[in-house]
Structure 1
Amino acid sequence: MADVLFALLPVCFMAWLAFGMEPVMVILVACGSAVATEFLFSRLYVGKTASLSDGSALVTGTLLACTLAPFTPLYIVAFGGAMAVLFGKLLAGGLGRNRFNPALVGREFMTVFFPAIMTSGAIWYRYDAVHVSSLDWLPDTFLDSLIFRGSGAIGEYSVVLLVLGGVYLLLKNRISWHIPVALTVSFTVLFMLLPDGEYRFSLAGVLLGAIFMATDMPTSSSTFIGRLYYGAMIGAVAVMCIAFGVKHEYMSYSILLLNAFVVPVDWVFRPRVWGGKNRLAARIAQGMGLTAAILATTGIVIWLHHREWIMYLVFAYIVWCIGGFFWRQPRPDVAVE
C-alpha cells in the first residue's frame, strides 16, 4: 500500500501545480472519509480497528480522488470515499475479498446519487483557480502535454509520471506487466480500427486505469494467460463504450465489468493439471463463449447507460452487498466451538 501511495504522489503534486489546494482538499477529504468509514465500521461491527494499519483505505481514497474533477464538492467526495470503503470492501468481507475495485465503486455511487453535479462542467475547470495550465519546456507542445497538462481528472495531469509510477510498481514487484500492457495494446489497436468519427478519450485516464485500477489483485485474474486476456478485454470493452457514445465512464465500466467476470476468466485460463490432457479445442470454445458473454454484457451496460438506468444496477448491488454481509454473520442459534 505504501508503494502504491508513493507511486501516486508525483501525480498528486501535479494536481497541486495545476490548481493549488482545491484538488489537494479533494484528495484529503476522500482519504479522510475512507479512513473514518473503515474505523467506524470495524469498531461497530467487528470490534477491532487493526485493519486501519494496512493502509488500504488511504489507497482507496487516493485512487478515488484521482478519478474525480478538481472542483468536486467536498461533501460529495466524502460520500464517495465512504461508499468506496463500505460497499467496495467492508460489506464484501474486507481486504482481499472484494469482487469490484473499491475506488471505482465509490465513483459510480457518486455518479448515480449526484448525477447533475458529477456531469457538470463547472467542477472540471475554474479560470480563477488555475496556477499552471501547461509547460513550455520542449520544442513540441505534444511532448510538453505528456509531462504536464492541466485538464481532466486529478490523476490525469501527467502521462509521464503515471508511466514512471507504473515502472516503480513493476520494479517493486507490486504489479505484473501483463494487464497494463495487454490493456493498452488492445485499446490502441482497436481504437485505430474504429470508423471515422469524433471519439474522445483521455490517454492519461486509460493509463491510470491500466496501471493502478485494473491491477488490483483481489479483482483481477491470477493466471498468466488470464491476465493477458483480462487486460485485453478491458481495452476492448473501453473502446466499445467509446464507440457507442459513453463519454466519461468508459474506463470505470470496462474495469468493473471485467471484475465481474474474473472467476470465469480464471477458470477458462486455468493451468493444465500435470499429467492431464490439453483439451485445446474445448478451451478455445470456452474462451469464445466467455468473450461473447462479456461483449453481450457490455452492450447491455451501454444500453442502460444511455437510458440512464445504471442506477438500478447500483441499487441491486447495494442489496446484494447488504444481503451477503448479513448472510455471512454467525447465526445466534448455531453453536461455534
Structure 2
Amino acid sequence: MELKNSYTPYIRTRDDIKAVMFDVILALTPAILLSLLVYGLSSFLIMVICVLSAVLTEIVFSKIFFNEITSIKNLSAIVTGILLAFILAPYTPIYVAAFGAAMAIIFGKLIFGGIGKNRLNPAVVGREFMTVFFPLVMTSPAIWSGNSLNISELKIFSFINNNDFTNYLDKMLLNPTGALGEVSVLALIVGGIYLLIKNRISWHIPAALFSTVFIVSLFIKEIEISMGGLMLTGIFMATDMPTSPTYSFGKFYYGMMMGLTMAIFWKLGIQFETLSYSIIVLNIFSKMINKVFRPVVFGYKLNLIKKIFEVLKISVLILLFDVLWAFLHRFELIPYIVFIYIFVISIKLIASKKIK
C-alpha cells in the first residue's frame, strides 16, 4: 500500500526568506546603479567589500557558533552588506567598511541566534561599531569629499520643461550629497513602491515617519534631515521585519515615535547620528510596542482606558530614553555602551547554550 503525507489545512505560501531578500535587493537596485553612476569605483569598492565581508563573516561565524553554514543561502547577509554601504560616506576606507560589515553580522544578527531573532538592525549596529572603533576616520571630512564626481546632476525632467518643479524633480532623481544610498530619493521611492506591491513592507511605518517629520519640521525650523537619508530609513531600515512591530497600529505608532525621536535628537544637538540613533532606540522598544498594540483576543472586550494608559506609559519611556541617549552622546559615553553591549550579549549567547 502506498502511503502519502497529508497535512491539516492551513495558510500556505511559496515565499521564503530568500524570496523576500531577493525582492529587497531588486528594490535597492535603482539606488545602487545611480550611486555607481555618481561615485564610480569608490562606490563599487565599498559595496563589494561590505557584501563580501558580510557573506564571509556569515559563513565563518555560523560555523563557529552553530556548526552550520546553510544560512548564507537566504541572501540576508547580502542585504545587510548593501544597506550598510548605503549609510556610509562615499569615500570610507574599505578596511573600515569591511570591519563594519563583519560586526553587523556578528553583533547585529548571529549573536542573537541568527536571522529573525535580532533585536537591532544589523546594518546600523555595524555602522555604530565603525564609529566607536574608528572615530577619527568616521568623523573625518575626507570621507565625504574625495575625488571628483563622475556626474553631479541629471537634466531629465528639466530638459523636457525647465521650471522650478522640474528642477526639483531632477534634484530628487540625483543629488550627490550625503551617504552612498542617499543620492536619489526617487530611486528609493521606486524601490519602496516595488516592496509595497510585493507586500514585503506595509505603508504604516514609512507614512507615520514621514508625516511626523514633516509636521514637526513646521514647528522646529532648524531640523535638517537629508531627504535621501529619511527615505532610506523609512522604507528600508525602519521596516526591517525582526526589529519592527507586527501589528498595523503598532507599526504606525513605531514610525511616529521614530519621527519624534529624530526631532528630539536634532533639537538636543545630535546631527550626524540622528537617523542611526533613532532606529536603535525604537528597535529597543519594538517588543514593548508590539505587546501594547497586539489585537484584543476574540471574545474579550477592549479596555480603552487601560490601553491609553499603556500607550502613554511607553511614550513617556521612549521620550525619557531619548533624553538619556542624547546625554550619553553629548558626554561621549556611547562607546562605553557599545562595550557593555558586546560583553552582555556575548555572555547571554554563551549562557543560552546555543553555541555548538
Task: Tell me the TM-score range normalised by the shorter chain.
Answer: over 0.9
Deviation at 1:259, TM superposition (A): 0.6
Q: Are residues 1:129 and 2:129 paired?
A: no
Q: Is the 8 A contact 2:258 2:282 kept in 1?
A: yes
Deviation at 1:330, TM superposition (A): 5.8
Q: Which runs of 5+ in 1 are unaligned?
A: 333-337
Within-5 A mapping of 1:185-196: 185-194=211-220, 196=221
Match in the other structure for 2:171? 145
Within-5 A mapping of 1:20-31: 20-31=40-51
Identity %: 43
Q: Is the 8 A contact 2:121 2:280 kept in 1?
A: yes
- 2:100 counterpart (59, 80, 101): 80
Q: Deviations over 1:236-292 (max 9, x none)?
A: 101111122211111111111011001110111111112212110111011101000
> Quick one: distance in 1 between partners of 2:279 and 2:141?
24
> Quick one: distance in 2 between partners of 1:331 and 1:236?
39
> Quick one: distance in 1 between partners of 2:77 and 2:39?
25
Match in the other structure for 2:254? 230
Q: Secondary structure at the match of 1:261?
A: helix
Q: Are residues 1:180 and 2:206 paired?
A: yes
Q: Deviations over 1:164-209 (max 9, x none)?
A: 1000001011111111111111111112111x4x432201101100
Deviation at 1:322, TM superposition (A): 0.4
> Quick one: distance in 1 between partners of 2:49 and 2:312?
44
Output the TM-score relative to the length of structure 1.
0.95
Match in the other structure for 2:243? 219
Q: Is the 8 A contact 2:217 2:223 kept in 1?
A: no
Q: Are residues 1:323 and 2:353 paired?
A: no
> Quick one: distance in 2 between partners of 1:102 and 1:62?
11
- 2:192 counterpart (166, 191, 196): 166
Q: Is the 8 A contact 1:20 1:129 kept in 2?
A: no
Q: Secondary structure at the match of 1:51?
A: helix
Match in the other structure for 1:104? 124
Deviation at 1:50, TM superposition (A): 0.4
Q: Are residues 1:201 and 2:251 paired?
A: no
Q: Secondary structure at the match of 1:246?
A: coil
Output the TM-score relative to the length of structure 2.
0.90
Deviation at 1:146, TM superposition (A): 0.3
Q: Secondary structure at the match of 1:9?
A: helix
Match in the other structure for 2:83? 63
Within-5 A mapping of 1:255-266: 255-266=279-290
Q: Are residues 1:304 and 2:304 paired?
A: no
What is the identity, as a one-letter code, of the residue corresponding to 2:339?
A: F
Q: Is the 8 A contact 1:147 1:159 kept in 2?
A: yes
Q: Is the 8 A contact 2:204 2:255 kept in 1?
A: yes
1:330–1:153: structure 2 CA closer, same or farther, 3 Å change rule? closer
Q: Is the 8 A contact 2:38 2:151 kept in 1?
A: yes
What is the identity, as a one-letter code, of the residue corresponding to 1:242?
A: W
What is the identity, as a one-letter code, of the residue corresponding to 1:134?
A: E
**What is the CA RMSD across the aligned residues, in angstroms?**
1.3
Within-5 A mapping of 1:211-290: 211-290=235-314
Q: Are residues 1:9 and 2:29 paired?
A: yes
> Quick one: distance in 1 between partners of 2:231 and 2:176?
16
> Quick one: distance in 1 between partners of 2:227 and 2:283?
22
Deviation at 1:224, TM superposition (A): 1.4
> Quick one: distance in 2 between partners of 1:208 and 1:257?
17
Match in the other structure for 1:294? 318
Q: Which runs of 5+ in 2 are unaligned?
A: 1-20
> Quick one: distance in 2 between partners of 1:118 and 1:21?
20
Match in the other structure for 1:335? none
Q: Deviations over 1:130-174 (max 9, x none)?
A: 110112331233221101011110000000010010000010111
Match in the other structure for 2:15? none
Deviation at 1:44, TM superposition (A): 2.3
Q: Deviations over 1:102-131 (max 9, x none)?
A: 0000011001111111111110122x3311
Q: Secondary structure at the match of 2:109?
A: helix
What is the identity, as a one-letter code, of the residue corresponding to 2:31?
A: V
Q: Secondary structure at the match of 2:270?
A: coil
Q: Is the 8 A contact 1:199 1:242 kept in 2?
A: yes
